[in-house]
Amino acid sequence: MSAENNHMKVAVVGAGQMGLGIAHAFAISGYQTLLIDIDPGQTAKAVVAITDLIEGGARLGKLSAEAAAAALERLSTSEVLADCVGTDLLVETATERLDLKVRILAEAEPLMAPGGVLATNTSALSVSEIAAGLAHPERVVGMHFFNPVHKMKLVELVRALATDDETVAKARAYAAGLGKTSILVSESPGLTTSRMSAMAGNEAMYMLMEGTASAEDIDTALRMGFNHPMGPLELGDLTGWDTRLSVLRYLHQTLGDKFRPCPLIIKMVAAGRAGRKVGHGVYKYEQGVKVPGSGLRASTL
């Protein structure tokens, strides 16, 4: 696969937790990968994390030392979107804000290679709305990845109102090129996964706020009772409550009151407790590891 993909240019815009995972996936799968972020601190952090992932993969025997070195060579970074000129696939994965995503795609569209695909990793925004002002909205598709990208096998593809069959087929081929399984969703707020997971995370926060059970017990309930690999509060910490809140606000606006964001999420985001990425969410984290017994308690709310 690597040799086949080597001539394909992929740009990943946004070097946060998703951008670094997506860039890693493309680089190890043989694509020339450019990771772009307006914040050079973010790209620098992402390169360290990607290098760790690649070197870790080599240590585990998932790729050879040569393949690891080649993957790192395929990866480059920039602070400037204009550097994505001649890109075959651009995956926009910047902060979850409609105006930002619209601006990034509008600026990138004229720079793409002929027939290039513009994909957005939005969790819940309308891909049709993101694509609306472009010259070729038929080349825009949702490619929704999961966190952490190197472990999660699914890519949820989103067909927007204008997306054509060729673009869907190309997006499916790119997902397959990463060794991922894709499903196709007709655009609808929150798709399948974000809608389900926003609902479960919001309900878990209401239960925590009401003192129904401790954070640890709510998470254990879903892990042990339903065989979920993570509880809804642990998952919210991983996703980031800031991202989760944006998703909930959008679902509340589009799908109604059942998605009204829990006041505890609003309070946590206002307090800067966005989750694992800042070391503190429902739980505390030290060097990325959850501190036992650190879950928020109703008595302290």
- Residues forming the site for ligand NAD (CB under 6 A): 13-19, 36-39, 42, 93-96, 100, 104, 121-123, 144-145, 147, 239-240, 243, 277
Q: Which residue has the tokens 């994909």?
A: 119
Q: What are phi and psi of 155, to 5 degrees?
A: -125, 125
**Distance from C-alpha of 255 to C-alpha of 258, rounded to nearest angstrom:** 8
The least distance separating ligand NAD from the CB of residue 79, rounded to whole angstroms, comes to: 8
Nearer to ligand NAD, 129 or 164 (CB): 129
The least distance separating ligand NAD from the CB of residue 154, rounded to whole angstroms, comes to: 10
CA dihedral 145, 146, 149, 150 (to 10 degrees): -120
Nearer to ligand NAD, 49 or 67 (CB): 49
Nearest to 8 by CA among 113, 121, 156, 158: 113
Q: Which residue type occupies 128?
A: S
Provide the 8-state DSSP code for 86: T
Nearer to ligand NAD, 13 or 269 (CB): 13
The least distance separating ligand NAD from the CB of residue 93, rounded to whole angstroms, comes to: 4
Distances, alpha carbon 161 to alpha carbons 84, 112, 186, in Å: 26, 21, 8
The residue with its CB nearest to ligand NAD is 16
> Is the CB of residue 202 less than 8 Å from the CB of residue 258?
no
Nearer to ligand NAD, 94 or 119 (CB): 94
**Distance from C-alpha of 89 to C-alpha of 293, rounded to nearest angstrom:** 44
The least distance separating ligand NAD from the CB of residue 20, rounded to whole angstroms, comes to: 8
The least distance separating ligand NAD from the CB of residue 144, rounded to whole angstroms, comes to: 6
The least distance separating ligand NAD from the CB of residue 152, rounded to whole angstroms, comes to: 9
Nearer to ligand NAD, 8 or 15 (CB): 15
**Distance from C-alpha of 22 to C-alpha of 93, rounded to nearest angstrom:** 9
Nearer to ligand NAD, 182 or 214 (CB): 182
Nearest to 144 by CA among 108, 171, 162, 170: 171
